[in-house]
Amino acid sequence: MLTQIINGRILTPQGWLKDGSVLICDGKILEVTNSDLAVIGATVIDARGMTIVPGFVSMHAHGGGGHDFTETTEEAFRAATMAHLKHGATGMFPTLSSTSFERLYQAVDVCENLMKEKDSPILGLHIEGPYLNPKMAGTQYDGFLKTPDENEYIPLLEHTSCIRRWDISPELPGAHDFARYTRSKGIMTAVTHTEAEYDEIKAAYAVGFSHAAHFYNAMPGFHKRREYKYEGTVESVYLTEGMTVEVIADGIHLPATILKLVYKLKGVENTCLVTDALAYAACDGTVPIDPRYIIEDGVCKMADHSALAGSLATMDILVRTMVKKANIPLEDAVRMASETPARLIGVDDRKGTLAKGKDADIVILDKELNVRCVWSMGKIVPGTDILLHK
């Protein structure tokens, strides 16, 4: 079916296009043009007064809609993905938190099956842990934490090609060998839950750690030991040119001032917006709360208030937060939610921007930056067809 979205302000790789149109067919973008003339035979959707942007790429989310990806069932994967899809995440990399390798194999099988489906929004798997520094991992991963073991991770990565990202603590014994191996497989490797200081971060970057997961969270900044002062992981990542970052831009995990600082120092091309969402994100109805957690102040916390445990955010919330609280230009906020993650994780040949030949993953935002309509591979996502009934 030929569909034409007209009269909207369109974000293209070249910048804003006022009152143009996007023509889509068979899941692809046929053209992005400054003409608002209706095409004969096309279903025309009027986006007057609204903003047309590329679909968001979510590369760090543990769940949503009442389900966690560590359930490792197709039902959980579908439900959580759909919950985020309704909020504009047209590309998903389901995140597995620290768990057993038995479950990782199960998740791989589920992910591979879903990726084979036509027009699937699931693009690959993201693993966080279980190779984490126990001092920085809190208590939520008790029983699973360990040091990197090539007898575990090599067989898994030889078994599948769906794992596109893996995050571990770089200071652990064997972490550098792990990163060399994952880099050889083209897998994005990130530092996370770490105490690493400058020399350790610099060495980690050299062997393949290219990214910092949930920057500022679960890592130290500038600090003292006795009478002397030391740079933390945060300053070390800033000083490591080429290392990219992601921020949980829900306005709770990091204040607006820090979001501005990351944007200023790392820039749009090196910064991604991520939700780090748990099962309780985008959830309609009541979900039993794991007794280890509480939901308070719009975020998920450890029950003992020792740390934040994860967010309730969706990708559209991140964009609104960056624009309305951190005063970041809308085009830059959108790029950090779409173009940059697509490029860094290697799907920018088809995702991340509105350009001819790319997948028709499109989000329409109203003046308040609320999602009014979402297309995934040229098909309107159920429950997001508000614009058609305005």
In CATH, what number is assigned to the domain containing residue 360?
A: 2.30.40.10
Q: Are residues 214 and 283 in the same domain?
A: yes
pLDDT digits (tens, 9 = 90+) for 71-123: 999 999 999 999 999 999 999 999 999 999 999 999 999 999 999 999 999 99
* Residue 385 maps to a domain: no
| Dihedral sign, Cα of residue 284, residue 288, residue 292, residue 296 | positive
Residue 297 belongs to some domain of the structure: yes
**pLDDT surpasses 70 at 366:** yes
| Residue-wise pLDDT tens digits, 338-348 | 999 999 999 99
**pLDDT (0 to 100) of residue 310:** 86
11 and 143 share one domain = no
Assess whether pLDDT exceeds 60 at residue 30: yes
Q: How many domains does the chain have?
A: 2
Q: What is the pLDDT of residue 166?
A: 98
DSSP-derived pairing of the beta strands 299-302 and 293-296: antiparallel
Domain of 91 in residue numbering reads as 56-345
Whether residue 341 is contained in a domain is answered as yes
User: Residue 181, CB half-sphere, CA atoms under 13 Å: how many?
Assistant: 17
Note the pLDDT of residue 302: 83
pLDDT digit string (tens) for 287-317?
667 788 888 888 888 888 888 888 999 999 9
* 311 and 225 share one domain: yes
Higher-confidence residue: 138 or 300?
300
- Whether the pLDDT of residue 321 is over 60: the answer is yes
Mean pLDDT within 138-158: 90
Tell me what the mean pLDDT of segment 151-165 comes to.
98
Of the candidates 68, 167, 250, 276, the residue annotated as catalytic is: 276
pLDDT higher than threshold 60 for residue 62: yes
What is residue 387's predicted lDDT score, i.e. its pLDDT? 65
Annotated binding residue at 67? no
Q: Is 193 annotated as a binding residue?
A: yes
286 and 314 fall within a common domain: yes
What confidence score (pLDDT) does residue 320 get?
98
20 in a labelled binding site: no
pLDDT: which is higher, 303 or 377: 377
- What six digits make up the tokens of 344? 């860094």
Question: Cα–Cα distance between 238 and 265 in angstroms, integer?
Answer: 7
Q: Are residues 122 and 30 in the same domain?
A: no
Of 39, 102, 111, 53, give the one whose Cα is nearest residue 81.
111
Residue 290 pLDDT: 77
Give the pLDDT confidence score for residue 139 in this predicted structure. 60
217 annotated among ligand-binding-site residues = yes
Predicted pLDDT of residue 286: 61
pLDDT at 319 over 80: yes
Burial of 288 (0-12, 13-18, 19+ CB in 10 A): exposed
| The pLDDT value given to residue 285 | 63
Confidence of residue 38 (pLDDT cuts 50, 70, 90): confident
Q: What is the 3-state secondary structure (H, E, C) of the chain?
A: CEEEEEEEEEEECCEEEEEEEEEEECCEEEEEECCCCCCCCCEEEECCCCEEEECEEEEEECEECCEEHHHCCHHHHHHHHHHHHCCCEEEEEEEECCCCHHHHHHHHHHHHHHHCCCCCCECCEEEECCCCCCCCCCCCCCCCCCCCCHHHHHHHHHHCCCEEEEEECCCCCCHHHHHHHHHHCCCEEEECCCCCCHHHHHHHHHHCCCEECCCCCCCCCCEEECCEEECCHHHHHHHCCCCEEEEECCCCCCCHHHHHHHHHHHCHHHEEEECCECCCCCCCCCCCCCCCEEEECCEEEECCCCCEEEECCCHHHHHHHHHHCCCCCHHHHHHHHCHHHHHHCCCCCCCCCCCCCCECCEEEECCCCCEEEEEECCEECCCCCHHHHC
Count CB-CB contacts under 10 A for residue 287: 16
Same domain? For 325 and 374 the reply is no
Residue listed under structure tokens 């067809």 = 385
How far is the C-alpha of 59 from the C-alpha of 347, rounded, in Å? 11
Is 60 among the annotated ligand-binding positions? Answer: no
349 as an active site residue: the answer is: no
Across the chain, what does the average pLDDT equal? 95
Same-domain status, 90 and 40 = no
Give the mean pLDDT of 36-62.
94
In the predicted structure, residue 69 carries a pLDDT above the cut 90: yes
The model carries a pTM of 0.96
Find the mean pLDDT for residues 121-147. 91
Instruction: Report whether 313 belongs to an annotated binding site.
Output: no
